[in-house]
Amino acid sequence: MNIAQELHKDLESAHSLPDFGAGDTVAVTYKIKEGDKERLQVFQGIVIQKRGGNNTATETFTVRKMSGTVGVERIFPMASPLIEELKVMKVGKVRRARIFYQRERTGKSARIRDRKRF
């Protein structure tokens, strides 16, 4: 086994995240290092895309939230050791894998319908 495959294997077993997709509202708690201090910060928003396929080591997801009137997007690697926890707040119903159209929408048109659970 070459070195890259061994690293991918180590990253896959780092931690498991719940199943989520585009349109879901998630709260990502991650560690921020400021100097020699560490603190936890929560970034809550809508997942607008997941990339990287089945390989957990290179897979990423993008979360978008509105901070006042400014849209903020953050890209998180799935295998990041800085992610403390990920909670799925709402499961959204969308018809696309990448919902970049959310960037132009504000107010009521930016709402995403909830997926019904049975």
Query: Model confidence over 62-91: pLDDT tens digits?
Result: 999 999 889 999 999 988 889 999 999 999
Q: Beta-carbon neighbour count of residue 99 at 10 Å?
A: 20
- For 69, the token pair is 């009137």
pLDDT, tens digit, 9 for 90 and up, residues 27-41? 999 999 999 999 999
Q: Domain extents for the chain?
A: 3-106
Consecutive H or E run containing 91: none
Q: According to the model, what pLDDT value does residue 92 have? A: 93
Q: What gap in Å lies between CA 31 and CA 81, rounded to an integer?
A: 9
What is the model's pTM? 0.82
What are 51-64's pLDDT values in tens digits?
Answer: 987 776 789 999 99
Q: Say how many C-beta atoms besides its own lie within 10 A of residue 20's C-beta.
A: 18
CATH architecture of the domain with residue range 3-106: Roll (2.30)
